[in-house]
A = this chain, B = another copy of it.
């Protein structure tokens, strides 16, 4: 049974103006210069209207993220049958975007938001495409045998995205070829570690 109440209903126009102002200001100004007052001003809205519906600026950013207001990601990772080639093709433009001022500062802002608001972190990799797109391609690779069965597909996506975040946070610029090499190493084929003759599998002693 739905709760019935008299009175006006939430304004869709205000919601839209607030979220779109939030997304624009986060990109333009960055997380630490993003303020509720600034959003209200830019959206032509009273502050109370924001506080009525969102608990913090982090919650606003999380909702923008879910709405896909930051990235226009490639709809899917291609599938030529060669996993690494497909990943490189998909990752390369992403890495170059993250080497632009806008891209860098957007990622910085989103990570900063994630440190304050659990909801942002929870959806970060998905908004980025890692959860859906990348994991789907990895699953396909498992199906064709390019990756071994039992591969922790979702975790792998997170690891690649985590490495990416760390690269952006810790360096001035992503070294694109080096990053692609890393992905190649992480996901590519690899011999059983130099001691193929050793009877016991070295990775699982007991």
Q: A residues bordering B, Cβ < 8 Å?
A: 31-32, 82-85, 108-109, 111-112, 114-116, 118, 121-122, 124-125, 141, 144-152, 155-156, 158-167, 169-172, 178-179, 181-182, 184-186, 188-196, 201-206
Contacts and interface: CB of A to CB of B under 8 A. Distances in A.
Contacts of A32: 116
A198 to B, nearest CB: 9
A167 B192 CA distance: 27
B156 A166 contact: no
Nearest to A183: B159
Contacts of A172: 118
Nearest to A206: B149
Given A156-B185, A189-B203, 17 more contacts: A32-B116, A109-B115, A112-B116, A125-B170, A147-B193, A149-B206, A150-B206, A151-B185, A158-B167, A159-B163, A162-B163, A162-B164, A162-B165, A188-B203, A189-B190, A191-B202, A192-B202
B193 A192 contact: no
Q: Which of A125, A159, A164 has the most CB of B within 10 A?
A: A159
Given A170-B122, A191-B202, A152 B185 contact: yes
Given A32-B116, A109-B115, A182 B155 contact: yes
B159 A159 contact: yes
Nearest to A109: B115
Given A192-B189, A193-B189, A158 B152 contact: no
